[in-house]
Every structure is written in C-alpha cells, then in structure tokens.
Amino acid sequence: MHSLDNSLRHRWILLRWVGYGSQNGVKRSLNDGFLNKLGLVCCLDKCTISGEHPRFSKFKNAGRAAEQQAKRREDAMERQRNSRFDHFNHTRKLAENEEDDEEIIDAERDHQEEQEKPQDLRKKRYKSRYADELMLSEWLVDIPEQLSSEWMMVPSPVGKRVLVVAAKGATTAYNKAGKTITQFRSRLPGGHQKSKGSGVYTILDCIMDAKKTFYCLDVLAWNGMDMSANPFDFRQYMLSSKLKESPEISLSSKQFPYRFLPLPCCKCERALMEEMMRNGFDFELDGLLYYHSGVVYEAGQSPLVGWLKPWMLPEILNVTVPEKLVR
C-alpha cells in the first residue's frame, strides 16, 4: 500500500508539473484533457533518458510508451503551428539577461509565499535566468513512418550539455540548471570586446568536452538574428554556413581559449546513417540525437527530439554499427 501511495504521489507531482509548466511561454491548464494528460505524463516519465529505454527495460512497456510518444508528437506539432510565442524577444532577453514580466510576477509570488512560512520551513530559492532553457531529448521509442524523409541524425560527443551566450563582450556557458560553467572571450559575434554592441549576441546549444572544445548542436541566435522559430533543418544549414564563413571560430589561442566546431548531420535514411557510423568521429561518441526537421527550438523535453545509444541502432532502427560500438 505504501508503494502504491508513493506511485500515485509521484504521478500527481508530475501531473502538476505538466499542468502548470510553461510550453511556448503559455501556461497550460489542468482542464485540458485531464485524464488523457495523466497517461501522457506517465509516458513522459518512461521516455526520459535518465531512465532505461522502454525497449530494454525489465518492465515491458515499450508498446504503450511508443503509442503515447506518437500522440505527444502530434500534439507538439499542433502547438508549434498555433504558437504565438515571441521567440525573438525571448532570445533577446536571454542575451541581455532580462526577465519576462510573467517570470518576475511568479518570483514575487513565490517569495511572498515563502515569507509566510515559519522561519524553520523556509528554503532558499534561486532560479537562474538561464535554467531549463535547453531543448532536451527523450528516448526514441516510437519509430515515425516518415523517419527517413522528415528526421535528421546528429551524433553527440561525450561532455556537458551547455547553453552558450555570447553578449556584451563576453561568452558564458551555462549548464541545464542555469549555473555558470565558465566565462571567456570567444570569436563568436558578441563574445569579445571588439564585437560587442547593441543587438549583437549569439546563443548556441553545445556539448562542452574536457579539451576546451564546444561541439555545436543547434543555434538559437547568431549576431542578433533570432533563429529559434525556424525549423531545425534551416537552423542546421545556417549554423554550418556561419561557422564556415568564420573559420577562426574553430581555432583556439591564448586570447580565445575555446573553439567551436560543427557536428555532422544526415537524413535518417538507413544507408546514410550506416555510412556516418562507419566513418567514425573525431570525438568520443555518447549517443545519437534524432531531430524532426521541422521542430522549432523550445525549452524542455521534446517528443520531436529522440535519443539512442550507439548499440541500440541495430535492434531499434535496423542500422548496422561498427563492432566496437556494440555492447
């Protein structure tokens, strides 16, 4: 009975998170499909990459998880089509380290509620402006029918996932919780004194390795141009083009200690994926990310971004990988 109570309590906590959490900057109501959302939340928990992939879990729930993931993908695409979220102002405020009015109101309300508690029950709360701004993946459980035509595969190196903000003459890397990992000068637009200026900023989604290299997964803004509202395939094209236009960004020096490198990308056609895996990489491979080519950049876990470990490809996608990557 005790374990059942804990399970229900866990589901309720998750339900409140989904019900009241922000999606595209708009608060979602619990009245929107209450019973259906309860099932979706349970699936969301199962698809989180901090746990086991449902296909390989000792709890055989892959079928249900795949069904619910497919439904959430449809919902996510529908929200994107109907979204009025102002991506430009959001990325600008990230660069300028400004808060939205709604965030200020929430913070003030939280502070008031905290002050009303007894002194011994108060907790110190501080949420960084850059917390929870990364678009995160989940296990690729449901294999889309349009995988080969509408999805793209990007290899992910071993390292720390960071949000890189170059603005006001400095470049800062933040972790998922919004904590500063390092601050330095870079050749990114807005990232050093000579390139700073009003409206000059760059925001990247990167993997930071131990050798002072940032591998660029995605771009939210470049030189003041917001790209987060554009589809993923366009963002990849722009990111690759901008890095090629400025090859010095890929070099490190005493003045600019970190370098920024692009990552390879291919359509999810079996032959192309096998070729990429066969050719190997210049870094230690952690896993593979699968992006829907039309996904816009949204903070939080997205069903439109999948994740697999290399050894999973043969069984899940029928893609052959080198023997050294097989578990």
String of DSSP letters for 138-150:
EE--S--TTHHHH
Residue 196 is predicted with a pLDDT of: 82
d(CA 65, CA 43): 5
- Looking at every residue in the chain, the average pLDDT score rounds to 82
In a 3-state reduction of DSSP, which class is residue 226? strand
Check whether 36 has a pLDDT greater than 50.
no
Cα separation, 88 vs 228, whole angstroms: 8
pLDDT of res. 173: 98
How far apart, in whole angstroms, are the C-alpha atoms of residue 113 and residue 115?
5
Which residue intervals of the chain are DSSP H helices? 2-20, 34-47, 62-82, 87-96, 101-115, 147-150, 232-245, 270-279, 313-317
Domains of the chain, first to last: 54-96+127-325 (3.30.470.30)
Q: Which of 101-110, 220-229, 273-282 has the lowest mean pLDDT?
A: 101-110
Q: What is the pLDDT of residue 115?
A: 55
The per-residue pLDDT for range 107-164, each reduced to its tens digit, is 445 545 555 555 554 444 557 899 999 999 999 999 999 999 999 999 999 999 999 9
Express each pLDDT in 40-58 by its tens digit: 444 455 677 777 887 776 6
285 has pLDDT over 80: yes
Predicted pLDDT at 13: 38
Q: State the pairing for strand pair 180-184/201-208.
A: unpaired
Question: What is the arithmetic mean of pLDDT over 264-276?
Answer: 98
75 against 86, higher pLDDT: 75
- Asked if the model's pLDDT at residue 14 lies above 50, the reply is no
Q: Is the pLDDT of residue 306 over 80?
A: yes
